[in-house]
A and B are shown apart, each in its own frame.
Chain A
């Protein structure tokens, strides 16, 4: 009897089931390959972005036009008194559209994103922001200007990246004393600024009248006047030969500050060169002008290099150095000063408070500010001064730490990069912009006592999303680099980005497929440890 053995239907079924599981498992590996390649692309972009952020420390665009040291009539002009204004922190550098670094993700959306260890939520809870990279840069290689439409060609992978900084920055140094936008750079020789009156007045010397160069005779008279100041008021004459010795001058004139000698020599050199150029131009006048000028140079550079804490002399513009900027910081461990105890340019305000200013060594600052210039021999109105005490700095070794040794970890923060397709939300371009950080705005006191924010800075710098915001609820037009649009030429809703923004830079209002109720999981891409400076640095 012949027996046949074969597969029963049940065995076939089991075999097929096992084969199906095996094949399905293999097929499931295929998307992993795509994900791995995507992750590789994200890592490439993240590494480039990290280096881009670091490079902004070399030359940050966020301080463009805002960190110039001005030769203004009033020392208090442009004095930004907010501690966090232009703070040199990584998250501030990162919040910049000009360098193509980052734009803050709207809070409404950021709160819908989960991450490993709830890092994103922690950043937001600490008051920080997460950023998405804009894609601005040079024009496409085939030509054309970087319009909004053109930028949409940027790698779509970039738009899925978000980043934030973990860890907190240390207290920053101040850009300048809150009362004085020091240093003041001046062309040397120059004509002097009205605020210098206090330097002269402190020495009992009349403020020199404005020079008159209208005629050769007037030039000669001006030259004589500056010579008289030197000879009579300060007691020395610039010889026709010999090298200036500021050290010797200080030694032989202990009762006179070097600052007033520098100012007098500056005025004299200016008049001397003018006279040798257009006045009684003789070979002797030319020789004297050379000597006068060189004496001025020697005294000014000695003051700059050897007496950097004496800020009563404008800094020469021909050799600006880091030592022109005194190291200052707010004393956060002392009781805040009030308007009655601290000099301000406004009426006493019981609600007004300010941290005292610390420096490692005493810094001597001018005691006046003035926007009054005056001209000719007519008496100018007296210079204006602060109500109360003159601007000073305190010294407290227990509170001053900016120059103390530090461990690298104390100033390092960690840049974390995630990948999440947040632009897929239905309301990604509809939710309002990230909130305005008022601490980033300058608070400028003004001569008449009223204070105001420099609002244009918000639209130009502190709000990187500004150029993308929709102008109205129709969401058809954006600001799109229009310099005519700012606080007074747009509605408050548009100004604060309440209509949302064209966040994928394609010029149209898009609605993604994801419902706003859906939570997204961000994939951690990379981490980079980065140094966070405490003061402005430029690498050159």
Chain B
């Protein structure tokens, strides 16, 4: 009988007082560990998603730098507004980067020793000192060899706009050419507007301007802004300072708040200084795919802007990461080496100037 009594012993109060706090401590530690683990795992997942999104944005931008999909979708005719000479809205703006150029393939030749490729003229902003260089050569020159350069620049500019000039003309090219005289001897630009007349400048003005020259002709203090001189292509004033010539992305590909497509097509970009005014984001091409994401994932915007710089091109990517759960916003800027416009056109199976369907041989 006493052995049965011994066998059914329970816990004493002291044992309970010790066991319960111990159990609570163990459970609390377990809960804390579990909570910490859950937070850490969630943080790791969030970081992983952000890294993945940043990686995708960077790669998407890298693809865009090489393939120019933001301005022209080669597989979707409805998204090829830059192949339209008159712009996507049909409002008369001229010059888009993927417009065919109606020049014979012979103009593709840029042999530096070929006299046809040499520019003839003062290339000076102050034309008055140097005379009327339509005498030497011009767009409708009776000598085809002397008209060659003017015809090429005229075709490129009127088809591709400022970006085309920067792209296809050699780096040291002066961005100007001389238009034709009409029957009355009046000079007219390609819009038919009269320009001139020429008058003689004052003596002693020969050294009025000091120029920094090519190959960095696009510098702010360079004489490269022939468009300031209305006599030679009036009506196409475009600020070249810091070379904000760009190709506007298709609608829905913009990252900013204002469509700049027409402005760029009209070559009427506002002047941009070294501090990048607020319009800059509007020139960024942002791949729309990056806006599609699952709920809770960070929002990524990858803006790409192609900058003409020091005679070269430096596409710039700006990644913006917005974590909507924490409100954290961060940026990252990188430069690229990408495909040129010339390369982009050739990627679309355009052997030289034009698509195969509009090839001109003469």
A contacts, CB < 8 Å to B? 1-2, 4, 23, 26-27, 30-31, 33-34, 37-38, 40-41, 44-45, 48-49, 51-52, 54-56, 58-61, 63-65, 67-73, 99-100, 135-146, 153-156, 158, 185, 187, 189-191, 210, 212-214, 270, 273-274, 276-278, 286, 289-290, 293, 297-298, 301, 305, 317-321, 373, 375, 481, 538-540
Does B221 reach chain A (CB closer than 8 Å)?
yes
Whether B213 pairs with A289 at a CB distance below 8 angstroms is: no
Whether B310 pairs with A64 at a CB distance below 8 angstroms is: yes
8 A-B pairs besides A30-B41, A155-B321 with CB distance below 8 A are: A2-B3, A27-B33, A49-B334, A69-B213, A137-B333, A139-B278, A185-B214, A375-B204
Contacts of A51 on B, CB cut-off 8 Å? 334-337
Q: How far is the CA of A158 from the CA of B334 in the complex (A)?
A: 12
Task: Indicate which residue in B55, B222, B276 contacts A44 across the interface (CB closer than 8 Å).
Answer: B55
Identity of the chain A residue whose Cβ is nearest the Cβ of B143 in the assembled complex: A290
Identity of the chain B residue whose Cβ is nearest the Cβ of A289 in the assembled complex: B135
Shortest CB-to-CB span from B279 to chain A, Å, is: 8
Does B81 reach chain A (CB closer than 8 Å)?
no
25 A-B pairs with CB atoms under 8 Å apart are A1-B3, A37-B48, A41-B47, A41-B54, A55-B335, A63-B216, A70-B210, A70-B213, A71-B210, A71-B213, A138-B303, A138-B318, A139-B278, A141-B255, A143-B278, A146-B276, A210-B206, A276-B135, A277-B131, A277-B200, A319-B119, A320-B171, A481-B274, A539-B312, A539-B337
Task: Indicate which residue in A34, A154, A270, A301 contacts B331 across the interface (CB closer than 8 Å).
Answer: A154
Identity of the chain B residue whose Cβ is nearest the Cβ of A185 in the assembled complex: B213
Whether B135 pairs with A277 at a CB distance below 8 angstroms is: yes
Known: A30-B36, A37-B47. A140 touches B312 (CB 8 A): no
Contacts of A277 on B, CB cut-off 8 Å? 131-132, 135, 198, 200
Contacts of A30 on B, CB cut-off 8 Å? 36-37, 40-41, 44
Shortest CB-to-CB span from B297 to chain A, Å, is: 15
Whether B316 pairs with A137 at a CB distance below 8 angstroms is: yes
Whether A65 pairs with B51 at a CB distance below 8 angstroms is: no
Whether A317 pairs with B219 at a CB distance below 8 angstroms is: no
Known: A48-B334, A63-B310. A41 touches B51 (CB 8 A): yes
Shortest CB-to-CB span from A36 to chain B, Å, is: 8
Does B261 reach chain A (CB closer than 8 Å)?
no
Shortest CB-to-CB span from A117 to chain B, Å, is: 28
Shortest CB-to-CB span from B78 to chain A, Å, is: 26
Of residues 229 through 255 on chain B, the ones whose CB sits less than 8 Å from some CB of chain A are 255
Q: How far is the CA of A293 from the CA of B331 in the complex (A)?
A: 55
Shortest CB-to-CB span from A273 to chain B, Å, is: 4
Known: A49-B334, A538-B171. A141 touches B256 (CB 8 A): yes
Contact with A along B27-61 (1 / 0, CB 8 A): 00000010011001101100110110011001000
Whether B215 pairs with A538 at a CB distance below 8 angstroms is: yes
Q: How far is the CA of A142 from the CA of B331 in the complex (A)?
A: 12
Contacts of B221 on A, CB cut-off 8 Å? 65, 68
Whether A540 pairs with B171 at a CB distance below 8 angstroms is: yes
Shortest CB-to-CB span from A247 to chain B, Å, is: 13
Of residues 253 through 310 on chain B, the ones whose CB sits less than 8 Å from some CB of chain A are 255-257, 274-278, 280-281, 284, 286, 301, 303, 305, 309-310
Q: How far is the CA of A317 from the CA of B123 in the complex (A)?
A: 8
Of residues 81 through 111 on chain B, the ones whose CB sits less than 8 Å from some CB of chain A are none
Does B356 reach chain A (CB closer than 8 Å)?
no
Q: How far is the CA of A322 from the CA of B330 in the complex (A)?
A: 42
Contacts of A99 on B, CB cut-off 8 Å? 314, 335
Q: How far is the CA of A191 from the CA of B122 in the complex (A)?
A: 11
Whether B210 pairs with A59 at a CB distance below 8 angstroms is: no
Whether B200 pairs with A273 at a CB distance below 8 angstroms is: no
Identity of the chain B residue whose Cβ is nearest the Cβ of A155 in the assembled complex: B330
Contacts of B219 on A, CB cut-off 8 Å? 64-65, 68
Q: How far is the CA of A187 from the CA of B255 in the complex (A)?
A: 42
Q: How far is the CA of A189 from the CA of B131 in the complex (A)?
A: 10
Whether B44 pairs with A34 at a CB distance below 8 angstroms is: yes
Q: How far is the CA of A445 from the CA of B212 in the complex (A)?
A: 20
Q: Which 7 A-B pairs have the closest CB atoms?
A: A59-B312, A137-B333, A68-B212, A320-B172, A277-B131, A37-B47, A185-B213
Contacts of A145 on B, CB cut-off 8 Å? 275-278
